[in-house]
């Protein structure tokens, strides 16, 4: 939530910051702003997208080689020009951008008002810049020390960057529970919420750790200290393997469509080097390292939010069926607040595309405190979850920019299936024959996904038939129940259509009352073990005049006859069906959103990475 970017070097800062903000806009897009230091601090901020800021900045002198920029997802204070960041100190000397929440802001604000500080916005952030100003003035210290002293008083989460008009050769940044990356270029430095604004200029980065403060000097050096004032000796400089093209739409109308169509490749990427069907092996390094712990674990708990939580629900089936390890799935946000029982021989697996979701991070911290082994299944390399977990596996889906998660979901499922299979093999629960058959089917998945993507026009037609409905019901059984939830979430978040996912058998316990001739019911019927039951569920919907859209296995003539529309997808082994059955649902929601003229990549009220609780 919120994107921050800062630059110091020998180039003009404003265009670099604006380009960076456009790349970070997926993190929040209700307002944005910049401050450029050139003698004084020049700040422009505007409600709306980055383009509104660019329009507002037209004609303003924003020349300068040091500056900060922000794109906001509102928490404290409505989205408007005043609440937009940057926020400046009362003496106009300092300017700050912030991602996170200062939890004790009202206490701090009261104390600062008593000291004579005047506030203009409703944000928690403005309190922070006044606090830094207070320490700087009171102690007559430099910016870094003032930031350090102020942060010692702060409770909450932050990634911040601050500039000081009296020190035009320095930028100070700090983080706690919100991401901040330092980019090291030639005679230039960058600070940003992720590497996307940086990668065009350098692939050398340092991921700041919690409670670290970085001070960058224009003379080409940087230092990192802790809030406790200890110097971090030899910070790790990483070389990123990220290409600029991966951050572009590549000719597609939307990132979401590009990401849906990338799935044959991303699914293959998440398996690459980890599976060999001919030789009959699976190897996930993070798992092998802790195999003994996994073998002795009495329980696995999966924590996640949103789409990642749906992957976890599928993993519950897989881990219990293939590995025979009792598995629980928890919303990270609920887990952390309900005093869960966690034993030191438990394994807690966190699933997260961004690796920055605040609730998931907090759930992991709790699991760590209790001594459980923590394992991260994450997409973004170097993200907080990847760094705080004991072990883990990246899903290697590449940057996912559309707010609606698509390719990360299927790549999570690939990694979870590999884990379940490997654990099942090690436990001796899977026969050699079944193991090899599943590996073969996995290696075949990209080809099958390609065939599903060829159905795009048909799916678009079906979307056009139901685009005006304001409600939809998604039904699935077994492994396809979480797919029903995921299909409903995709429709809700990008089309603003009310949709619910249900286990098909539960329909008769309530939701069936909703069905009439206006209700589209999307039935995911690709799993053969539950097929007869699903056929009955379809009959029940048809008897009440519901509109049935069925996702079926190729050649399922019986359901084809009964349903109003069918999407026939290639078969695979039952265990792998969710990886295929979700794809038509992604396309269906995409087309409905486009037809309803919704902003597909940046749906209202949402942000890609939810770094606040």
Binding site for ligand M6R (CB under 6 A): 305-308, 352-354, 357, 360, 403-405, 489, 493, 609-610
* Smallest distance from ligand M6R to CB 352, Å: 3
Distance between CA atoms of residues 211 and 398, nearest Å:
28
**Secondary-structure breakdown of the chain: helix, strand, coil percentages, each rounded to the nearest 5:** 40, 25, 35
Q: Max Cα separation, the chain?
A: 80
| Least distance to ligand M6R, CB of residue 458, Å | 24
Q: Pick the closer one to ligand M6R by CB: 581 or 609.
A: 609
Nearer to ligand M6R, 132 or 157 (CB): 157
DSSP state of 322: I
Tell me which residue has its CB nearest to ligand M6R: 306
DSSP state of 441: H
φ, ψ of residue 560 to 5 degrees: the values are -55, -40
Q: Which are the catalytic amino acids? A: 2, 608
Q: Which of 541, 525, 529 is nearest to 581 (CA)?
A: 525
Query: Could you tell me the two tokens for 11?
Result: 């180039």
Residue with smaller CB distance to ligand M6R, 314 or 438: 314
Minimum distance, C-beta of residue 340 to ligand M6R, in the bound complex (Å): 19
Give the nearer residue to ligand M6R in terms of CB position, either 281 or 496. 496
Give exposure, 229-255, as e/b (b: 16+ Cβ within 10 Å): eeebeebeeeebebeeeebeeeeeebb
CB of 493 to ligand M6R, least distance (A): 6
> In angstroms, what is the minimal distance from the CB of 295 to ligand M6R?
28
Closest CB 397 distance from ligand M6R, rounded Å: 11
Please check whether residue 411 is in contact with residue 267, taking contact to mean a CB–CB distance below 8 angstroms. yes
- Least distance CB 308 / ligand M6R (angstroms): 4
DSSP code per residue over 195-251: STTTTTT-SEEEEPPTTEEEEEETTTEEEEEETTS-B--SPPPEE----GGGGS-TT
Q: Which is nearer to ligand M6R, 35 or 602 (CB)?
A: 602
Helices (H), 336-480: 358-369, 384-388, 407-427, 432-443, 445-453, 456-466
Provide the minimum distance between the beta carbon of 380 and ligand M6R in the complex, in angstroms, as a whole number.
8
190 or 331: CB nearest ligand M6R: 331
User: Which lies closer to ligand M6R via its Cβ, residue 4 or residue 610?
Assistant: 610
CA distance 430 to 319: 12
| Count of positions (residues) in the chain | 613
527 neighbors 499 (Cβ within 8 angstroms)? no
Distance, in Å, from the CA atom of 520 to the CA atom of 499, rounded to the nearest integer, reads 10
The least CB distance from residue 384 to ligand M6R, in Å, is 11
Q: Is residue 214 a contact partner of residue 201, using CB atoms and an 8 Å limit?
A: no
CB closer to ligand M6R out of 174 and 305 = 305
Q: Which is nearer to ligand M6R, 147 or 494 (CB)?
A: 494
Burial category of 555 from C-beta neighbours within 10 Å (exposed 0-12, middle 13-18, buried 19 and up): exposed
Pairing of strands 156-164, 94-102: antiparallel
Terminal Cα-to-Cα distance of the chain (whole angstroms): 10
d(Cα 484, Cα 482) in Å, to the nearest integer?
5
Q: What is the C-alpha to C-alpha distance for residues 33 and 30, in angstroms, rounded to an integer?
A: 11
């Amino acid at each position: 939530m919120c994107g921050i970017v800062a630059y110091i070097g020998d180039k003009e800062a404003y265009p670099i910051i604006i380009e960076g903000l456009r790349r970070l806009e997926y993190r929040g897009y209700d307002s944005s702003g910049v401050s450029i230091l050139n003698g004084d601090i020049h700040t422009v901020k505007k409600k709306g997208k980055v383009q509104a800021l660019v329009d507002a900045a037209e004609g303003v002198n924003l020349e300068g080689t040091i500056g900060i920029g922000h794109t906001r997802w509102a928490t404290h204070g409505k989205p408007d020009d005043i609440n937009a960041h940057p926020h400046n100190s009362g003496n106009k000397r300092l300017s700050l951008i912030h991602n996170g929440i200062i939890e004790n802001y009202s206490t701090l604000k009261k104390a600062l008002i008593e000291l004579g500080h005047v506030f203009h916005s409703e944000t928690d952030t403005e309190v922070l810049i006044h606090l830094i100003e207070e320490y700087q003035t009171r102690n007559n210290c430099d910016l870094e020390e003032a930031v350090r002293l102020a942060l010692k008083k702060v409770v909450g989460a932050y990634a911040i960057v601050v500039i000081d008009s009296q020190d035009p050769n320095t930028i100070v940044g700090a983080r706690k529970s919100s991401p901040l990356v330092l980019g090291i270029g030639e005679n230039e430095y960058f600070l940003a919420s992720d590497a996307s604004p940086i990668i065009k200029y350098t692939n050398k980065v340092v991921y700041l750790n919690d409670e670290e403060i970085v001070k960058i000097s224009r003379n080409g050096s940087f230092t990192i200290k802790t809030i406790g004032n200890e110097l971090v000796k030899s910070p790790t400089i990483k070389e990123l393997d990220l290409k600029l093209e991966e951050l572009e739409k590549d000719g597609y109308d939307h990132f979401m469509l590009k990401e849906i169509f990338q799935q044959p490749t991303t699914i293959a990427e998440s398996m690459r080097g980890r599976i060999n069907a001919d030789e009959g092996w699976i190897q996930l390094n993070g798992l092998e390292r802790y195999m003994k712990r996994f073998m002795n674990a009495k329980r696995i708990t999966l924590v996640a939010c949103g789409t990642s939580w749906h992957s976890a629900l599928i993993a519950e089936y897989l881990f219990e069926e293939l590995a025979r390890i009792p598995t629980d799935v928890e919303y990270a946000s609920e887990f952390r607040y309900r005093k869960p029982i966690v034993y030191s021989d438990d394994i807690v697996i966190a699933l997260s595309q961004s690796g920055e979701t605040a609730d998931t991070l907090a759930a992991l911290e709790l699991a760590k405190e209790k001594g459980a082994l923590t394992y991260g299944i994450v997409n973004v390399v170097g993200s907080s979850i990847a760094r705080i977990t004991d072990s883990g596996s990246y899903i290697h889906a590449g940057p996912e920019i559309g707010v609606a998660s698509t390719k990360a979901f299927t790549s999570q499922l690939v990694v979870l299936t590999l884990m379940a299979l490997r654990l099942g093999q090690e436990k001796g629960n899977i026969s050699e024959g079944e193991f090899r058959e599943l590996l073969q089917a996995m290696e075949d998945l990209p080809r099958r996904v390609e065939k599903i993507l060829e159905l795009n026009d048909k799916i678009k037609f079906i979307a056009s038939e139901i685009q005006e409905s304001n409600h939809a019901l998604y039904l699935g059984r077994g492994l396809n129940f979480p797919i029903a939830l995921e299909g409903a979430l995709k429709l809700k978040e990008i089309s603003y259509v009310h949709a619910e996912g249900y286990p098909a058998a539960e329909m008769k316990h309530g939701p069936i009352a909703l069905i009439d001739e206006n209700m589209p019911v999307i039935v995911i019927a690709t799993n053969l073990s539950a097929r007869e039951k699903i056929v009955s569920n379809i009959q029940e919907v048809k008897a009440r005049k519901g509109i049935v859209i069925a996702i079926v296995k190729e050649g399922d003539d019986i359901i084809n006859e009964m349903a109003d529309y069918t999407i026939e997808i290639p078969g695979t082994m039952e265990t792998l069906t969710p990886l295929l059955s979700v794809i038509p649902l992604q396309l269906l929601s995409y087309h409905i959103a486009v037809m309803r003229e919704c902003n597909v990549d940046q749906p209202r009220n949402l942000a890609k990475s939810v770094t606040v609780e």
